[in-house]
Amino acid sequence: MSTAIVPLATYRNETAYPFCPGCGHGSILDNLNEALLRLALDPKRVVLVSDIGCAGLSDQYFSTSAFHGLHGRSLTYAAGIKLARPELEVIVIMGDGGTGIGGAHFLNAARRNVGMTLLVFNNLNFGMTGGQHSTTTPTGAITSTTPGGNLERPLDICATAAVNGAAYVYRGTNFDPDLTDRIVEGIETPGFSILDIWELCTAYFGPSNRFGKRSLEDTQQRLGLGTGVLEHREVAEYASTYRREAADQLAGSRLAPQLLESEFMSTLDRPCRLLVMGSAGGKVRSAARLVAEAAIRSGLHATQSDDYPITVKTGHSVAELILSPEPIDFTGIDRPDLMVILTEDGLAKAHPYLASMTAPNRVIMLPDLADVDTGATIEVLDLDPLPSRVARTELALVALTAAVVQQNVVSAEALLATASRQGRYAEKNLAAVTAGLELIR
């Protein structure tokens, strides 16, 4: 396909505008056409993005690329196009309705500064659906949904965009003689440009409010809304900045497969469902993961699922492990074979399981926890032989080691070897595993 730029005599196609007599849309589009001619942009590299409302029909009268989407969402499609293809020129056409319903997108477009130019065709009401009020309808104005006069304060589109960082902000009317210049300026400014262009809706807002050309400027003045170029600043265009920053990032994935070789023996002949019941900050998940990896290194299948409150630094932390010589299809645990209880938080979560456990099941607990009611065999670990160098935060791995080695689930050898391969945690983990082994010697 040719990539040569073909300058056009016009960016309009042969189709006549469909707009009502006196409607401002056609004149804004004529100014846009003039701006495109002046910039001599390649029509296939210009994407007109629009959404719903009479202004949303605009793209059909242009020979550029076009995207006509859902009400108020233009800026999201435009951002996606620009992020994927920073070299494209993305021009967005929205009405005041779309700017209102897409308010979150508008705010974030201003803040993020993805390179696109937004033309708001602001006729102060919903012209396509019967003249209802919009977020920019002036206070006191009569519309089909404000029959007694609008009680709401209108949104100041430009001040909102400017205060949130937009690169170029302009307010005017479709009658402004310099509108083409301003559109050119907006397109040429890197980052997010927004032009709030007031115009007449001759079907609804105009007749209902005896609103003429003069009233547009008078109302802007009455409401204290600034006009002209209100902001023009240098910003970092997001899409190209993203590409630049990404290029500086180190290549290499964090997702590269971490293979666990099967190198140890296991005597486990049936699945062991193991629950570790502790508290946030107690390294429950990492201790359980170490045991799971040791089991996998022993040729076993393993699953691990963790449970903790959304306030992650407080409350319980529970790890569920299934270690099995057979493939594991079902990862849930309704009755554990082995349970390690580390803290009162963990014990509180253990009660429903404890009630279902019977004699062949085992519960291994740290000392000084409340009494438990269960049919399982209970063993309270005696921590006195522990060397003083083992910190309390390592107790999860200490107790878990004691439990799984004593029950012949995973061998001491496999745990020691797995602990020694944990990089910067190796030393602490080795100490904890060694301490756990001492407890059951």
Partner 1 sequence: MAREFIDGSTAIVRGALEAGCDFFAGYPITPASPILQMMMSELPARGGVAIQGEDEIASIGMCIGATLGGARAMTATSGPGISLYSENIGLAIIGEVPLVIVDVQRLGPATGGATTVGQGDVQFVRWGTAGGYPIIALAPSNVEECYTLTLRAFDLAERFRCPVFLLTDKDLNLTMRSVNPSSLTGVTVRHRNSRTGDEGSQYRYQPPDVVPPIGRYGDEVIRFTGSSHNEDAVITKHAATIGALNEHLAAKIDDHLHEIESVDLDPQVGATTLIVAYGVTAGAARQAVRQARRDGRKVSSLVVHSVWPVPEREIKSALDGVSRVVVPELNLGQYRREIERLAHGRQVVGVNRVDGKLITPDQVIEAIS
Binding residues for partner 1, rule: CB under 8 A, are: 1, 43-45, 47, 49, 57, 59-60, 63-70, 73, 75-81, 83-85, 87-88, 104-105, 107-108, 242, 245-246, 249-255, 257-262, 289, 292-293, 296, 299-307, 310, 328-332, 334
Rank residues 62 and 121 by Cβ distance to partner 1 and give the closer one: 62
Pick from 174, 435, 141: nearest CA to 287: 435
Q: Are 181 and 31 a contacting pair, CB within 8 Å?
A: no
Dist CA 325 CA 267 (whole Å): 9
Rank residues 334 and 382 by Cβ distance to partner 1 and give the closer one: 334
In the complex, what is the shortest distance from the CB of residue 66 to partner 1, in angstroms, rounded to a whole number?
Answer: 5
Owner of token pair 């492990």: 321
Buried b (16+ CB within 10 A) or exposed e, 107-127: bbbbebbbbbbbbbbbbbbbb
The residues that bridge with 132 in the sheet, in sequence order, are 126
**What are the phi and psi torsion angles at 165 (to 5°)?**
110, 5
Rank residues 311 and 388 by Cβ distance to partner 1 and give the closer one: 311
Centroid of chain to Cα 147: 41
Rounded to a whole number, what is the distance in angstroms from the first to the last CA of the chain? 76
Q: Are 26 and 17 a contacting pair, CB within 8 Å?
A: yes
Rank residues 39 and 83 by Cβ distance to partner 1 and give the closer one: 83
The token pair at 3 is 């990539």
Dist CA 5 CA 168 (whole Å): 27
In the complex, what is the shortest distance from the CB of residue 399 to partner 1, in angstroms, rounded to a whole number?
Answer: 21
- How many beta carbons lie within 10 A of that of residue 247, not counting itself? 8
Rank residues 74 and 174 by Cβ distance to partner 1 and give the closer one: 74
DSSP state of 369: P
In the complex, what is the shortest distance from the CB of residue 106 to partner 1, in angstroms, rounded to a whole number?
Answer: 10
In the complex, what is the shortest distance from the CB of residue 386 to partner 1, in angstroms, rounded to a whole number?
Answer: 29
In the complex, what is the shortest distance from the CB of residue 107 to partner 1, in angstroms, rounded to a whole number?
Answer: 8
In the complex, what is the shortest distance from the CB of residue 261 to partner 1, in angstroms, rounded to a whole number?
Answer: 5
In the complex, what is the shortest distance from the CB of residue 76 to partner 1, in angstroms, rounded to a whole number?
Answer: 3
Pairing of strands 301-307, 316-324: antiparallel
In the complex, what is the shortest distance from the CB of residue 71 to partner 1, in angstroms, rounded to a whole number?
Answer: 9
Rank residues 248 and 373 by Cβ distance to partner 1 and give the closer one: 248
Rank residues 22 and 80 by Cβ distance to partner 1 and give the closer one: 80
Per this entry, what is the length of the chain? Answer: 441
In the complex, what is the shortest distance from the CB of residue 406 to partner 1, in angstroms, rounded to a whole number?
Answer: 23
Rank residues 135 and 434 by Cβ distance to partner 1 and give the closer one: 135
DSSP state of 196: E
In the complex, what is the shortest distance from the CB of residue 439 to partner 1, in angstroms, rounded to a whole number?
Answer: 26
In the complex, what is the shortest distance from the CB of residue 215 to partner 1, in angstroms, rounded to a whole number?
Answer: 32
Rank residues 54 and 200 by Cβ distance to partner 1 and give the closer one: 54
Q: Write the burial class of residue 14 (CB in 10 Å: 0-12 exposed, 13-18 middle, 19+ buried).
A: exposed
Rank residues 115 and 172 by Cβ distance to partner 1 and give the closer one: 115
Rank residues 79 and 169 by Cβ distance to partner 1 and give the closer one: 79
DSSP state of 363: E
- Which CA distances in Å does 383 have to 76, 107, 362, 403? 59, 58, 18, 13
Q: HEC states along 79-132?
A: HHHHHHCCCCEEEEEEEHHHHHHCHHHHHHHHHHCCCEEEEEEECCEECCCCCE
Dist CA 210 CA 117 (whole Å): 32
Pairing of strands 338-341, 377-380: unpaired
